[in-house]
Structure 1
Amino acid sequence: MSQRVNYNQQSPEIVHSLMEISKQLSKSEISQTLRDMVNIRASQINGCAFCIDMHVKEARIHGERDLRVHHVQVWRESTLFNAQERAALEWTEAVTKLTAEGISDEIYNRVKEHFSEKQMSDLTLAIGLINQWNRLSIAFRAVPGSADKFFGLDKAGMN
């Protein structure tokens, strides 16, 4: 597989803006662990190999246990996630798989038990951002691992 378009080169100002949003989200009340799990789960749902590769490596660099990363896809059955992480993963699925009916009050009410309004807003922005990155990477066939050196992901020791 080869990349169709290098969106970093073709739209550098916009890509830079997306990266700035990511920097701002790293300063939010949403923990790095939650952001890693959200990024992995949305990327799994969307089938984005580039982003799964990137965010699994990031999670490892951030100290996440391998088994938890492997369990992200089956979080509902796993005992490795606490209530807040489960809520974040449920919200990730709901926001990523939007339907014509939207997101039910039942899901929203379950998730808001674990997050303030500010945290809900930041979490939803983080989910929206990873979905945007997924769409770019899938549309233009970004090659998994091709940006490891640029992002420092070679430090994960997974190549």
Structure 2
Amino acid sequence: MTTRFLMNQVDPAAYSAMLGLEKYLSGTGISPLHHELIKVRASQLNGCAFCVNKHSSDALKLGETTQRLLLLPVWRESPQFSEEERIILAMTEEITFISQHGLTDETYDKAVAAFGIPRTAELIMAINIINAWNRIGVSTRRIPGQ
């Protein structure tokens, strides 16, 4: 497998727009570690090896443990994740697999109760943004570590 092209070289305006969304995220109240958990989990679900590699590494640099990263695909069966993280991971899965059931009322209600509407909106944006990056990475065949 080889990379098809790099978006920042072929369509700098589109890439710049995506970076603008990342800049928005850096100003939200989402903790950096929670943000990386969103990125890793969505990337796992979307099969984006480049992003799994990048964001797992970024999470480790922020203090995430190897054990929790290894358990991320089975977070429901793992007591290592807090209730807030469980809500975030459920949101990530439901929004990533939007065509199955969408963001369910149960998960949405838990998110609003735990985070409030403004932070829930930020989480929805964070999940959608990594899903967009994943689709770019998979479509262009980005290779981990490059």
TM-score interval, normalised by the smaller of the two chains:
over 0.9
Show the counterpart of 1:31. 31
Report the secondary structure of 2:17's partner residue.
helix
Unmatched segments (≥5 aa) in structure 2: none
1:113 deviation in Å?
2.0
Partner of 1:47 in structure 2? 47
TM-score, with length taken from structure 2:
0.94
Q: Which residue is 1:150 aligned to?
A: none
Identity %: 36
Structure 1 pair 103–5 and aligned structure 2 pair: CA distance change class (3 A): same
State the secondary structure of the residue aligned to 2:78: coil
Shift of 1:100: 5.9
Q: Distance in 1 between matches of 2:126 and 2:107?
A: 18
Residue 88 (structure 1) aligns with: 88
| CA root-mean-square deviation | 1.2
1:1-159 to 2 correspondence within 5 Å?
1-99=1-99, 101-146=101-146
Query: Size of the alignment, in residue pairs?
Result: 146
Partner Cα separation in structure 1 for residue 60 and residue 17 of structure 2: 26
TM-superposed deviation, 1:101: 4.7
Q: 2:81 is matched by which residue type in structure 1?
A: F
Q: TM-score, with normalisation over the residues of structure 1?
A: 0.87
Identify, as 1 or 2, the structure richer in helix: 2
Instruction: Output the CA distance in 1 between the equivalents of 2:137 and 2:101.
Output: 27
Runs ≥4 residues deviating over 6 A: none
